[in-house]
Amino acid sequence: MMMFTREYYPGTYINGNYYVTGSPENGTRVKRTLRVGEDFKPAFPDSIDLKITSACGFGCPFCHESATPNGKTADLERLKAFLDPLPRVGIEVAIGGGDIFSCPEFTYDLVKWLEKDNGFLPRLTLSHRNYEELNDTVVEGMLQYTKFSEDSVEKKLTYLLEEIPVGVSLNQYLENPIPDRISASSFRLSSERIVYHVIAGVINPEDLWEMWLDRRHYRKILVLGFKQFGRGASYTLPDLDKTKEVVERILARQKGLFTGEVRKVIAFDNLAIEQLGIKSLLPKEEWDTFYQGDEFTASMYVDAVEETVAPTSRTPKEERTSWNQTTLLKYFNENHR
């Protein structure tokens, strides 16, 4: 994973032989070893990709999780017990599915346990159509806020969408895939916490360019690699040449294009870095500053539905390890790169 932004923020913890500085606000993190020249040797993952449900009704043909409307949801108490041994230093937990709002109360209870009770940094991932619908529910609920109890779904949704960073996935298989703007309610609730997720080869390259130029709405963009896994295994890998060209234009202009209070951020997951040849587009100094390490160096995947752990969500299922055979920290320390 790597992220480019125009500013840095305080916030530090030590993991193994390196320290991490970053911002819970915008997700930017920079890692430096305590001794110059050493390789990173983490004692625990800096980030966890967490699947909590395999239920989803959108039916995207490239879904690497093969989610379906009748998919299952994890056991919350077993999941909390599995995560509990981790240190409380601000580990990022990217919560996804499936559709995580097919089980809104589960999602709320998990996020509250992670953030309020234990100091983790949860992030939520959902589709933009799902996000719009949720905002309509929340805004309507807020107009009658006093009528709802503290345990109501409306108040729980309001907390999630107001307080927690949200990754909004855009893709061409949903109606109006790249909206002219997200609704006013969306921006009233959480504009500073939205990161727009786009899949390389699935998003139209020119749409990506227009998103980057839009100073008001698309302030933070995460480019994901195309996963040939799950339903994506039978999906034709898109031609990435035009996407590469657009990314090169963005990286060439990102330093000085925007001024003032609006910050533009673009990030790439490891698969997108590989598929788009990001390293070749950057000076060595910038690469060394922003690159956060290979997959499974300081990150890992947890499937709480199947109760397995793996290096990534693309790890073949037969190579994943059951929770019954290991603990999270033991698995990470015995297997990470």
Query: Considering only CA atoms, which of 144, 148, 100, 153 is closest in space to residue 122?
Result: 100
Specify the pLDDT at position 304.
98
**How deeply is 125 buried, as exposed, middle or buried, from its count of CB atoms within 10 A (0-12, 13-18, 19+)?**
buried
- For 118-168, the pLDDT digits (tens) are 989 899 998 776 766 666 665 555 444 445 566 777 778 777 877 788 888
pLDDT score for 189: 42
Residue in 110, 109, 161, 94 with CA at minimum distance from that of residue 132: 161
Please give the structure tokens belonging to residue 239: 């031609």
d(CA 1, CA 229): 19
Domains of the chain with CATH codes: 2-335 (3.20.20)
- Peptide bond preceding 98 in cis form (omega within 30 of 0): yes
- Nearest one of 4, 3, 2, 1 to 254, comparing CA atoms: 4
| pTM for the predicted model, two decimal places | 0.86
In one-letter notation, the amino acid at residue 225 is G
Q: What b/e sequence results for 69-100 when a residue is b if at least 16 CB atoms lie within 10 Å of its CB, and e otherwise?
A: eebebbebeebbebbeebeeebbbbbbbbbbb
Consecutive 10-residue averages of pLDDT for the chain (337 residues): 39 86 64 87 95 92 92 98 94 93 91 91 82 62 52 75 80 50 42 81 88 80 93 84 93 62 79 95 86 90 98 96 98 94
Query: pLDDT value at position 257?
Result: 47
Torsion from C-alpha of 41, 1, 238, 308, nearest 10 degrees: 60
E strand or H helix that includes residue 4: strand 2-4
Identify the pLDDT of residue 258.
47
**Residue-level pLDDT at 263:** 65
Task: Note the pLDDT tens digit of each residue in 89-102.
Answer: 889 999 999 999 88
